[in-house]
Amino acid sequence: MKLWEGRFDKPTAADADAFNESLSFDKRLYKADLCASAAHAAMLGKCGIITEEESACIRDGLKGILADIESGALSVEGAEDIHSFVENELTARIGETGKKLHTARSRNDQVATDMRLYVRTSIDKATRLLLDLVQTLYGLAHANVKYLMPGYTHLRKAQPINCAQYFNAYSEMFLRDLDRFGACRERLNVMPLGSAALAGTSYPIDREITRSLLGFSEISANSLDAVSDRDFVAEYIFCASLVMVHLSRLCEDTILYTSDEFGFWNIPDEYSTGSSIMPQKKNPDIPELVRGKSGRVFGHLTAILAVMKGLPLAYNKDLQEDKECFFDTEDTLFSCLSIYTALLKKVTINVNRMFTAAGEGFSTATDVADYLAKKGVPFRDAHAITGKIVRHCLEKKKTLTDMSFEEFRTFSDVFERDILTVVTTRNSAEQRDSVGGSSLRAARAGLLAIKRRLRKY
């Protein structure tokens, strides 16, 4: 039965029903809808809008529906949306009293409340998954803090870096994502229930009762805004989009680092795939898929923004379109976070290969320039002298560590014997002891800072 049949002569056409319905996807809101309905019924009873007996009977009925959905005894189908489903089912179970549940309420404030409850729970799940990921990255950083690897700019070897510094960089990104989701949660934790269709209600409701029962921190201040705002959905999808950006970058690194050309990491067989034609192949399908799925989440962000942009106040049915893009965002986010954390837990790291690579490509040339500059040569001149040394090495097919002291001296008499240590990989990393830098001390401090921030959660 439809909740609004009264004023119509004819039933709606089957194709109109099919087009209008949202139950096929908003059934995910069943728990939020039942909880918000129970809180509303409790409030109606306490305020004397319905009797306490009616209120208790409604709440018992709702509890039974929840239990039956969760046990699988009741399947959610055969109504326009989750709100109609619950009310129909309730009335079928408890009779006429069920029809009183919708007093002082509209589906407009109801769906806005359900969505906020649902998104709040989703943030809590995203938080747990992100924490697991950061802890995994922390483990990798901690285990490899003594090792060095090449650091890149423009995907060309730039300077040696500390392995922990590398993994910590991703932890920093995901910790910001955690904070961002936390701020989104705070902002969305405002209760629309009690706004009714758009203008508020003439019944003597007490919104404070429903607020506290549903764990909202505030009550919405404007009924028009409360029923028509979905910026919390857009904000969630934005937070998820940034997580996907960060994951996607990590995927790109993984794909490169596990290639034969780099040979830095190894993805174990359990998380690798093969080729149907080339028997030798071991492919990184999982990182590629996560990288690919990021585009899908960004698409949902565009979708929700476009849905909202031209809407006149207050509620419009366009807002029903907030759900599928949201649900697919959370599904994608959760599956990508889970699989990537699992994969990272199994990744093995070839520290010797990375150390060798860290010393290649004249990666300590900046140290030569800095050496000269620290001895009074203007940095621009020091840069030019070092450039000439690199050119010399390229011509002679040697590395900076192959250079003798005498050879260095032919480029500048500022060089002393200690230049031979300055150009080593380890020294280069150790010299960068500034906060956040590549020295062992700085990398350890980075680990400690991450540990402290993890404790907050």
Candidates 22, 136, 195, 294; binder of ligand ARG (CB under 6 A) is 22
Between CA 109 and CA 115 the distance in angstroms is: 10
CB nearer ligand ARG, residue 10 or residue 317:
317
316 scored as a contact of ligand ARG (CB under 6 A)? no
Q: Nearest approach, Cβ of 26 to ligand ARG (angstroms)?
A: 6
| The one catalytic residue among 71, 75, 154, 202 | 154
b/e 407-428 (16+ beta carbons within 10 angstroms → b): ebeebbebbeeebbebbbbeeb
CA 221, CA 225: separation in Å to the nearest integer? 8
Say if residues 349 and 149 touch (Cβ distance below 8 Å).
Answer: no
Name the residue whose CB lies closest to ligand ARG: 320
User: Which of these is catalytic: 24, 212, 259, 275?
Assistant: 275
**Can residue 108 be called a binding residue for ligand ARG (CB under 6 A)?**
yes
Q: Give me the least distance between CB of 353 and ligand ARG, in Å please.
A: 54
Question: Does 105 sit near ligand ARG (CB under 6 A)?
Answer: no
CA–CA separation, 177 vs 169, rounded Å?
13
In terms of Cα–Cα distance, which of 178, 221, 453, 214 is closest to 333? 178
- 3-state helix, strand, coil split of the chain in percent (to 5) is 65, 5, 30
Task: Count how many Cα atoms sit within 13 Å of the Cα of residue 207 in the half-sphere of its side chain.
Answer: 22
Q: Give the CA diameter of the chain.
A: 102
Q: Which stretch binds ligand ARG (CB under 6 A): 105-113, 184-192, 382-390, 414-422?
A: 105-113
State which of residues 111, 130, 141, 286 lies at the interface with ligand ARG (CB under 6 A): 111
Crossing angle of helices 207-214 and 30-46, in 10° steps, is: 140
- Whether residue 154 lies in the annotated active site: yes
> Token pair of 209, please?
């009762």
Binding segment for ligand ARG (CB under 6 A), chosen from 11-19, 142-150, 311-319, 419-427, is: 311-319
* Of 319, 358, 365, 422, the one binding ligand ARG by CB under 6 A: 319
233 binds ligand ARG (CB under 6 A): no
Contact pick of 320, 356, 366, 399 for ligand ARG (by CB under 6 A): 320
Q: How many residues bind ligand ARG (CB under 6 A)?
A: 10
Smallest gap from residue 235 Cβ to ligand ARG (A): 18
Tell me the one-letter amino acid at 369. Answer: A
Q: How far is the CB of 321 from ligand ARG (least distance, A)?
A: 8
Contact 168, 454 (CB under 8 A): no
- CA–CA separation, 327 vs 304, rounded Å? 12
* Per CB under 6 A, 88 contacts ligand ARG: no
Chain residues 280-309 in contact with ligand ARG, contact rule CB under 6 A: none
Rule CB under 6 A: which of 50-69 touch ligand ARG? Answer: none
> Helix 30-46 to helix 82-94 angle, to the nearest 10 degrees?
60
Question: Which residues form the interface with ligand ARG (CB under 6 A)?
Answer: 22, 26, 81, 107-108, 111, 315, 317, 319-320
